[in-house]
Amino acid sequence: MTKPLDIIGQSADFVVLNKPAGLSFHSEDGPGLVVLAEQQLGEKLYAVHRLDKITSGLIILARSSAAAAELTRQFSNRQIEKFYLALSCHKPLKKQGWVKGDMQSARRGAWRLTALQQQPAITYFVSQGFQDLPFRAFLLRPFTGKTHQLRVALKSQSAPILGDSLYGAAAADRVYLHAYALALEYGGVRYHYSVLPDSGEQFAALLAQGLPEQWQRPWLYPWPKAPTPALGSE
């Protein structure tokens, strides 16, 4: 029997779930996240954004077509704030800052960052090393929603995400990318959600060490204002 999905929060118009790493968003060999959530909650649900199969963490599903249209609009207009945790065993080219550039498809289903800025993927990240841990932790805020955006962003900084063999990282028990927090305003109400990763030996080691204090409510972190080029797809 499949373990029930963890419900992190819900309203009359949407539900927020914790997606396990390795679960496909859409049904492939078996039922995917959306189908499992519909079966568990006994209602029709609507996708408004996605996570890669390898990524764990927060995902919003709408409970009506009207709510789906509004949430999709907010994602497309960058009104919903998303925050991710990642680990890498490599030292990045810089400890924090912007990663911006157009993305092009590469070999084997991968993507690569280019110097062009026509419809750029835009990410800001901060990072923290630990004396007794063999990795560096990253808190990332994507301002766009391109395919593989965060995986490519850290690869471009010479710090591929631990376990992400597609982008040249060392093998691990999972790919260490986690959708950690969301902040949005809907129907005049401000919502904040966060969930810590619950799988992966190295994430467990990070949590035993403790996240930096400023990372614990990432919507309060003093993020720089994003540039405003043409909006990318979500």
Residue 70, C-beta contacts closer than 8 angstroms, at least 6 positions apart: 13, 186
User: Hey, is 35 helix, strand or coil?
Assistant: helix
Active site residue 173: no
- List 52, 102, 132, 198, catalytic entry: 52
Q: Tokens for 113, please give them.
A: 């960052």
Backbone phi and psi for residue 194, each to the nearest 5 degrees, phi listed first: -150, 150
Measured CA to CA, the distance from residue 39 to residue 21 in angstroms comes to 19
Residue type, 118: Q
Phi, psi of 67 (to 5 degrees): -65, -40
Distance CA 83, CA 126 (A): 11
Catalytic residues: 52
